[in-house]
Amino acid sequence: MASHRKPRTRVRTTAPAIGLTTAALASVTLLSTQSAVAAPDPKPSVEDVQKKVDDLYRQAGTATQRYNQAKEASAAQRAKVDALLDDVAKRADKLNDARRTLGTYAAAQYRNGSIAPSATFFLADDPQSYFDQSQLMDRMTSRQQKAITDFRTQQAKAAKKRAEAVRSLETLTTTQATLRTSKQDVQTKLGEARTLLSKLTAEEKARLAEIERKKEAEAKRKAQELAKQQSAAKAEADRKAEEAAKEPGSGSGAGTGTGSDSGATTKAEQVLAFARAQIGKPYVWGATGPASYDCSGLTQAAWKAAGVDIPRTTWDQVEIGTRVATADLRPGDLVFFYDDISHVGIYKGDGMMIHAPKPGANVREESIYYMPIYGSVRPA
């Protein structure tokens, strides 16, 4: 006999396991996401900040030189454009004069009409007066031809100058755009440097100052080594000069120096006297004095005080005069820094220089080893 009992319902045990596994995975994912969001970027070390700030100042120095270059080019181009516009105006006056002359001749021809020469001869009251008038008209025709030639010449020259003025204005516009871009670049780099420094704690600022002191101390040590080397080299040169002066036939030794050496020494003294007088004045990018300077503005002004004109930018200043080795530096020489030649100072002797360092600092004396040396020149 068949059983009428209700069949037992089987319980599925796999579903809850799947649900728990999904929930667990979701929890792990959520925790991982929260951990990733919560983990902040590691704060840069004081050493990293110093390197970054120094690099930003160097980049700002490079941008400053681009600004100086664009500013100088803009001023020169503006002067050229103004001269061209003056020339165009003068040629326009000459063109108008030629046009008025042609108008006078055209009006005269209109008044005289187009009567044939034979008719004019027969209608003339006095035949002799006709011949006189005919000769005058021949001369008038010659002058008319000259007037036409002059007009065409002036017209061509005026058109050429107008085209040249248009091209110069386009160049000026491009240069001024570069000037604005360079200015913005400088401001951006300096802003980034200020932001980095502002985030330092008092303790970190103290550590940064200590790192700076160590850097300055090492630079001074190297300067002192150079000073000893230069002093020894000078003593040796003086000794050889004295020995040479004592040799038979060498004379009294007077006149061994040259006028050019004396002149160079005088100029160097004038350069350094000017530079020393600027110590304490603030660095301002793009400034050429007298209240403030950037690095190449100071060197340009110092050499100008000695009667020597040198270019505005470090990139042009490094190309003048005579290249000299670091060991052979003399007071007044220009020392350039970094691979991009973005900084320059005036050598004062004993491994030291006078320079306008960077924004926030004043013109001061410092070791030439404070920054990586690119090379040096003697302007005159």
Q: Where is average pLDDT lowest: 228-232, 257-261, 263-267, 310-314? A: 257-261
What's phi and psi for 332, nearest 5 deg? Answer: 100, -20
Torsion 271-272-273-274 (CA) sign: positive
Q: Which band of pLDDT confidence, cut at 50, 70 and 90, is reported for residue 153?
A: confident
How many whole angstroms separate alpha carbon 290 and alpha carbon 270? 16
pLDDT in tens, 248-282: 765 554 445 555 677 888 999 999 999 999 999 99
How many whole angstroms separate alpha carbon 122 and alpha carbon 124? 6
Q: Decide which of 117 and 80 is more confident.
A: 80
Torsion 118-121-122-127 (CA) sign: negative
How many whole angstroms separate alpha carbon 324 and alpha carbon 231? 17
Q: Which band of pLDDT confidence, cut at 50, 70 and 90, is reported for residue 16?
A: very low
Q: Which of 355, 363, 367, 376 is catalytic?
A: 355
User: By percentage, how much of the chain surpasses pLDDT 90?
Assistant: 48
DSSP type of residue 45: P
Q: Which of 267, 343, 358, 378 is catalytic?
A: 343
- 151 noted as active-site residue: no
Q: Which of 73, 98, 193, 295 is catalytic?
A: 295
Contact 295, 355 (CB under 8 A): yes
Q: What average pLDDT does range 146-169 have in this prediction?
A: 79
- 4 noted as active-site residue: no
Nearest to 256 by CA among 246, 271, 245: 245
pLDDT in tens, 318-343: 999 999 999 999 999 999 999 999 99
Mean pLDDT of the chain: 81
- 355 noted as active-site residue: yes
